[in-house]
Structure 1
Amino acid sequence: MISKCLSLHLYPHPHFHFLTDSHNLKSPSSLTVKQRFPVKTHFCPSISISLKNRCSPPLSMASAQLNPIPKHDDFEPDPVLSNDDLEPTRPEQRTFSGWEMASLWVGLVVGVPTYYLAGSLVDLGMAWWQGIATVVVANLLLLAPLVLTGDPGTRYGISFPVLARSSFGIRGANVPTLLRALVGCGWYGIETWIGGEAIFLLLPNSIKQSSALSQILPWLGTSPLEFCCFLTFWLAQMAIVWRGIEGIRSLEKYSAPILIMLTFSLLTWAYINAGGFGYMLSLSSRLSVSQFWSLFFPSLTANISFWATVALNIPDFTRYAKSQKDQIIGQIGLPFFMGAFTFVGLAVTSSTKEIFGRVISNPIQLLGQIGGLTTTILAIVGISLATITTNIAANVVAPANALVNLSPSKFTFRNGAFLTALLGIAFQPWRLLKSSESFIYTWLVGYSALLGPIGGIILVDYYLLKKMNLDVAQLYSSSPRGDYYYWGGYNLVAISALIIGMLPVIPGLLSKVGLVGPAPELLIGIYNNAWFFTFFSSGFLYWILSCLTGENKGRSQIIEPLYPSTS
C-alpha cells in the first residue's frame, strides 16, 4: 500500500510569512508541497510519486504575521523600494538631541518669510497683537500633528515616503510624497529668491542703476540683474546640499545661536533709534468685528500651512532623533519661536515709521536703507544664513526623498535635491511674492488643500487603524502578499479619500486665482479653511471606508522596531 511506503512529515516554516514577503518568492499557490514545507519521504523502490500540485493544509497567516521582524543581519529590502537613503536609520545614526531638534526649528523660523508673515496680516488691517496671536494660535494647533507624525520616524527610523507606504501602498506612496515635493519646490524657489535679494543688496549702486541690467523684462517678470543674483544664491546652496543630511544637521546646530544673536541685535537697534516701540503699540485694527473674523480664519489656515509642509515630512528628521523625548522636546518650542520672531518683525517694521518716516516691511530693503559697510556685511551674512537654514531643511529634504522613493535605483538624495532646485526656478517665485494677498491667499492657502488630506489620512492610519504597529520589513517588500501591497501596490481607499477631500476646495481656489468667476460663499469659506476641512474630512472618510472594506486592520501584537532607539 502507498500509505506504508510513503510517509510525509510536514512542518510549517517558522518564517514562511517573512520569506515570501521580503524575498519575493512565489506565492504559496504556485509552489509544490516540497517547496512549501520541509518534506521527509520514504519511497518503496517500485513506486514513484510526483508531489506537485497536491493539496496541502492552509498556513495560518495570522500567526505568521506575529513573528517579530528580522534584525539588521537578516533585513534584505527589495532594491526596487530601497537604497541607502531610504533604509531605516541605525542606532549609530540617531544623533539628534532635543537641543539639535530645537536648533532645527530656530533655523527654520528665523527667516524673511516668517518676518514678513505677521507684517502681511497688519498690512491687511489687523492690529499688531492680533497678527502675533494669529501666528501663535496657528502653531499651537499645528504642534499636535507635528509631534504625532514625528513618532513613527523615531520609533521605526523611517522617512516620510516609507511611512506613507503604510497608508497609501508601496507604490501609492508616490502620490502624497510627490504632492509634498511639489510644494517644497515652490518654497525652495521663494527662499532662494530672498537670498538672491541679499546678494543684490551688496552690489554697488552703479550696477544696480544700470538701465540695461535693471530693466524688468515683461516675459521674465524681473530684471536680468536680480535674476542673476537669484541664480548665484541658488548655486551657493547646492554646495551645502551636496554634503547630505549630516551637513544639514551641522548647519542648523551652529547657525541657531548666530541667528538668535543677529535677531536680538536688529531688535535692539530698532528700539534705540525709534525711542521705543510706541508706534507699534499704538497701531490699532482697521477692521470691524465681522471683517476681522473674515480675515482671521483664512489667515489661521495660511499660518498653519506655513509649517504644514514640515509637519507632514517631519519623520525625515525625527528618524535621526535619539529618543521620542528628544523629538518632542525639540518641537514644543515652535509656537514660542514663531511668536517671538514675528514680534521682532512687527516691532522693527513699525519702528521704521519713526526712523525713516515711512514703513519698510521688507527686511532686506531695511538693511539696505541703514547702509554702512559693517551693516551691509552683517546683513548679507544674516539673511543668507537664515535663508539657507530654512530652505535646505524645509524645502530640499522632502522633495529629494520623494524622488528617491519614486525610483531608488535612479535617484539619490543628492541628485534628487538637484532636481528640486531646478524645479524651484520654474515656479518663478518673484511673482508669488508680488503682494501680501497673493502670498497668503494664493500660495499658502492654496497648497494647504494638498497637504491637509495627506496628514489626516496618515495619522488616522497610524494611530487608529495600525495602532502604531508597523512591519518595517514589509514596508520594503514588493510581494503581492505583503501587508502594504493593497491593490497592485496602491491603497485605493486612501487615494479616494484624498481626492474626495480636496474636491470641495477646488472651486474656491479657481475663483481666487481668477480662472473662474466668483464662487458661492460656502465654497469660498471652505477654501479659506482648506487645511482644516481637508485634514478632518479626508481623515474621517479614510477611517470609515477602511472599516467598511476591512483594509488596514491593526496588528494584535506589537512588532519590534528594526533599529530601536538608542535611548
Structure 2
Amino acid sequence: MPTKNRANDYELTAVPFDQRKTFLGVTMVWTGFVFVIASMVAGGGLAAGLTFKEIVWVTILGNCFLTVVASLISVISCKTGLTFALITRYSFGIKGSRIASFFVPIVNIGWYTIQSALYGHLIAQLLHLGPIGEGIAMIASAILMGVFALIGIDALTVLGYVAIPNIIFLSIATTMKSVQLSGGWSSISQYIPASPTTLGYAFSIVVGTWIFSASTCIADIMRYAKNTKEAVLSAGCGLVGGNSLLIICGAITSIAMGDSDLTKVLLDMGLVIPSIILMSTNIWTTNAANVYSTSLNLANALNKGKKGILAVVLIVSALLTLTKPYNIGIFFVFLNTLGNIVPPLPGIIFADYYVLKHRYYDTSKLGYDDWNYIAWLSWVVSVLLVFVVKVGFPPVNGILFGFFTYLLLSVLLKRKHTYIQSR
C-alpha cells in the first residue's frame, strides 16, 4: 500500500486513494480559503445599491453559480487526484502546461504579498510599532503564514479547524451587535438604498469574489476528496455557506454601522482583541491556502519539489511587502488584468475533459502530447475576446470563451483526439 510522500505532497503525482482526507477535513481547508475580509467588503458594496432581500437572493444565486464552476474543476481533480497545474498537461500538453502554470501563481503571489503586507501594517498600527516595526511585522507575516503551506495539506486542515469556528462566531456576533446598535432588524429589513443598482451588476460583484480560485486553486484542495460527491458538497459548503455568510454579514454591518469591514467595526466598539482574532484567522487561512496552491503550480512549471520553491517564494514575498503594495494602485491593475487572462484556462479544461475526452484522463501518463497548439490558440483568442467584448463579466466570459473556442477550433482544425504518450 502506498504511503504518503511528505517530501513533495504529491505536487508532481496523483494523490493515492488511501491518502484522501475526510469530508470535514477537505471542507475546512476550502472554507478557510474562502473566508476573507474582501467578501465582507463586497457585502458593503451590495448594500450601497440593493435592499436586504435583494442582497440575500443575489448572494445565494451568485454563490450557486460559483459552486457550479468549482464543482466542474473539483470533479476532475478528485477523479484524477491531480493539482490544477498537472490537469493542464492534458489540454495544453506536458511541456506546454509548464508555461500555463506560471500565470496562476503570479496572481496568487501578488495577492499573498498584498494580504501579508496589509496584515503586518494593521498589526503595526494596533501595537504602535512605528516604521521599522511595521517592516518587521510585514516580513514576519509573509513568512509565518507560509509555514502552514510548507508543511502541507495536514497543516492547512488543522488551521481550518482552529480558525473557522472563530471566524463564524465573531462574524455573526459582530453583525448581531451592529443590528442591536442600529435599532433592531426592522431597520435592516426595511432598508432602502440611496442609489439603487441593477441585479446584474450586483451578481457580478458576488461572482467576482471567488471566480478566480473557484475555477483554478480549488483543484489543489479537492484532489484530496474521497469521492466526487464529497468534493462537490465541500465546494458548495465553502461558497454557498461560507462566502454567503461573510457577504451577508458585511452587508448587514454596512447597513447598520455604515462600514462593511467587521474588523474595523470591532475596533470602533473598542474590542481590540476580538478584532485581531478575526483579522488574523481571516487572512491566515486564505493566505496559507493561497501560497500552497502557488507552490503546486510552480512545482509543475519548474518540474521541482514544492518545498524548495515555496521557500524562495516566501523570501521574495517577504521582501516585496516592504514596498507596501497595498498602496500601489498599478499593482492592483496588473493583478486584475492577469485575473482576466487566466479564466479561459478552466474553460479549455472543461471542454477537453467533459466533451472531447469523455470525462477520462489516463493518470498513468500525466498528459498525452508534449504541446497542444489548439489549446494555446484558443487561449489567445479567448483572452482577446475578454478584452474586446464589453457585455457581461470578464472572468465568466473568459471561461465561456475558452470552452466554446476550444471546441470550435478542435472541430475546424480536425484534430484527432488520440492518446499519445509524451516522448
Q: Give the TM-score of the pair, scaled to structure 2.
A: 0.86
Distance 1:173 1:552 in 2: 20
1:467: how far off?
0.7
CA spacing shift, 1:106–1:532, aligned 2, 3 Å: closer
Give the drift of 1:246: 1.6
Alignment partner of 2:386 out of 481, 491, 505: 505
Aligned length: 411
Question: For the residues of structure 2 that align with 1:428 and 1:549, how far apart are their CA atoms?
Answer: 48
Tell me what 1:85 maps to: 11
User: Aligned to 1:300, which of 194, 203, 206?
Assistant: 203
Aligned to 2:227: 323
Offset from partner CA, 1:26-57 (integer Å, 9 cap, x none) = xxxxxxxxxxxxxxxxxxxxxxxxxxxxxxxx
Report the CA distance shift for 1:185/1:171 in structure 2 as closer, same or farther (over 3 A). same
1:53-109 Cα offsets, whole Å, 9 max, x none, are xxxxxxxxxxxxxxxxxx979xxxxxxxx99531111233112x2222332343233
Q: Deviations over 1:138-161 (max 9, x none)?
A: 221121121111112211211111
1:276 to 184, 192, 200: 184
For 1:416, which of 310, 332, 347 is the aligned residue?
310
Task: Quote the residue 2:104 is aligned against.
Answer: 180
Q: How far, CA to CA, are the matches of 1:552 and 1:282 in structure 2?
A: 60
- Give the letter aligned to residue 339 of structure 1: S
Partner of 2:296: 401
Cα distance, 1:546 vs structure 2? 1.5
Q: Which of 133, 149, 157 lines up with 2:73 in the alignment? A: 149
**Distance (whole Å) between structure 1 residues aligned to residue 418 and residue 61 of structure 2:** 34
Aligned positions of 1:397-476 closer than 5 A: 397-409=292-304, 411-416=305-310, 418-419=312-313, 422-423=316-317, 425=320, 429-431=325-327, 442=333, 446-475=337-366
For residues 432-489 of structure 1, give each alpha carbon's deviation from its aligned partner in whole angstroms, at most 9, with x where no partner exists: 689xxx97xx57864442232111100000010011111112216xxxxxxx22xxx2
Q: Match of 1:107?
A: 32
- 2:194 and 2:139 map into 1 onto residues whose CA distance is 40
Matched residue, 1:286: 194
Contact 1:305/1:447, CA 8 A, preserved across alignment: no
Which residue of structure 1 aligns with residue 60 of structure 2?
136
Alignment correspondent of 1:196? 120
Q: Secondary structure at the match of 2:364?
A: helix
Partner amino acid for 1:379? S
Stretch deviating more after TM superposition (459-468 or 143-152): 143-152
Q: Secondary structure at the match of 2:343?
A: helix
Q: Which amino acid aligns with 1:309?
A: F
Q: Do structure 1's residue 534 and structure 2's residue 398 form an aligned pair?
A: yes
Distance 2:416 2:100 in 1: 18
**Higher RCO (CA-CA < 8 Å; seq separation 6+):** 2
Structure 1 unaligned regions, length at least 5 = 1-70, 74-81, 214-223, 353-358, 477-483, 508-522, 556-567
**Residue 201 (structure 1) shift:** 4.6
Go from structure 1 to structure 2 and tell me whether the alpha carbon gap of 1:302 and 1:423 turns closer, same or farther (over 3 Å shift).
farther
Aligned equivalents of 2:418, 2:324: Cα separation in 1: 44
Deviation at residue 264 of structure 1 after TM alignment: 2.5
Change in CA separation of 1:350 and 1:228 when aligned onto 2, cut-off 3 Å? farther
The correspondence of residues 205-244 of structure 1 with structure 2, limited to 5 A, is: 213=131, 226-244=134-152
The one-letter code of the counterpart of 1:360 is D
Residues 453 and 537, structure 1, Cα contact 8 Å, conserved in 2: yes
**1:228 Cα deviation from its structure 2 partner:** 4.4
Amino acid at match of 1:462: Y
Task: Give, in whole Å, the separation in 1 of the partners of 2:295 and 2:190.
Answer: 46
| Structure with the greater alpha carbon radius of gyration | 1
d(CA) in 2 for partners of 1:191, 1:247 = 20
Q: TM-score, normalised on structure 1? A: 0.66
SS at match of 1:551: coil
Contact 1:465–1:554 at 8 Å: present in 2 too? Answer: no
Deviations 1:262-320 (A, max 9, x none): 222222322333332444444323346xxx33xx5455344323222322132211111
Partner amino acid, structure 2, of 1:335:
V
> Is residue 275 of structure 2 the alignment partner of residue 379 of structure 1?
yes
Instruction: Please tell me the residue identity of whatever aligns with 2:303.
Output: P
Contact 1:305–1:448 (CA under 8 A) maintained in structure 2: no
Matches of 1:421 and 1:388, distance apart in 2: 17
Q: Is the 8 A contact 1:461 1:552 kept in 2?
A: no
**Correspondence for 1:360:** 259
Name structure 2 gaps, 5 residues minimum.
none
Rate the CA distance shift 1:102–1:242 in 2: closer, same or farther, 3 A. Answer: closer
Are positions 1:336 and 2:241 aligned together? yes
Alpha-carbon RMSD across the aligned residues, in angstroms, is 3.1
Q: Give the equivalent residue in structure 2 for 1:543.
A: 407
Task: Tell me which residue corresponds to 1:388.
Answer: 284
Local SS of the residue matching 1:285: coil
TM-aligned CA deviation for residue 129 of structure 1:
4.1
Q: CA deviation at 1:417?
A: 5.9
Aligned residue number for residue 480 of structure 1: none
